[in-house]
Amino acid sequence: MNPKIGIYFGTDTGRTRRIAKLIAQKLGDRADAALNVNRVDPDTFLAHRVLILGAPTYGAGELPGLSTGLAQESWEEFLPRLRGRDMKGKTVALFGLGDQDKYGGEFVDALMILYDAMVACGARVVGAWPTDGYSFKASQALLDGRFVGLALDQINQPALTEARIDAWLQHLAHELES
């Protein structure tokens, strides 16, 4: 078992990587360095008891991957490799990047795909986040009126990001103890 928090992200244009690295930096020695999910094998991924996973939304509300036009594999290709694996006892927190203006009808939808995959493996997903302060028409990533993870918009609200991350991590502090 890896006692450190594992931080894995998918990205095309690098924004989600920058956020993942910022989160890793804020967690200090409690977390391993943030890694692109296309560079990890399922066993290494599953060795963490606590995971923070980040994804942008691409396509029509989809995870990044080859079918949404990325040049490299990403979450779309990694998640099927976890199918049938047991994540009971693991705690997972999610963050998602999107564009609430241009894609306001499918804002951060990919968060829900990650959420469903984690729950299907038996993981406990923590870190739901309120919709206050965002302006979008619809999102598949809502459960009981809250995002299933931290929603970030580096296109329209970059100035709000760091405070959102700080508040989210503070709210999660107990859950992330590994």
Select 56 or 127, whichever has its Cβ closest to ligand FMN.
56
- Contact between 76 and ligand FMN by CB under 6 A: the answer reads no
- Contact between 13 and ligand FMN by CB under 6 A: the answer reads yes
- Contact between 56 and ligand FMN by CB under 6 A: the answer reads yes
Q: How many residues does the chain have?
A: 178
* Residue 177 CB coordination number (10 Å): 11
In the bound complex, what is the minimum distance in angstroms from residue 174's beta carbon to ligand FMN? Answer: 28
Q: Which residue is nearest to ligand FMN (CB)?
A: 98
- Contact between 154 and ligand FMN by CB under 6 A: the answer reads yes
Q: Return all residues near 114 (Cβ < 8 A) that are at least 6 apart.
A: 53, 55, 63, 75, 79, 94, 96, 149
- Contact between 160 and ligand FMN by CB under 6 A: the answer reads no
Residue 132 to residue 16: CA distance in whole angstroms: 22
In one letter, which amino acid is 106? E
- Contact between 103 and ligand FMN by CB under 6 A: the answer reads yes
- Contact between 61 and ligand FMN by CB under 6 A: the answer reads yes
Q: How is residue 54 annotated by DSSP? A: E
Select 11 or 38, whichever has its Cβ closest to ligand FMN.
11
Residue in 141, 129, 134 with CA at minimum distance from that of residue 172: 129
Select 13 or 67, whichever has its Cβ closest to ligand FMN.
13
The answer to whether the Cα torsion of 47, 51, 54, 58 is positive or negative is positive
Number of residues that bind ligand FMN (CB under 6 A): 20
Binding site for ligand FMN (CB under 6 A): 11-16, 56-58, 61, 97-99, 103, 106-109, 154-155
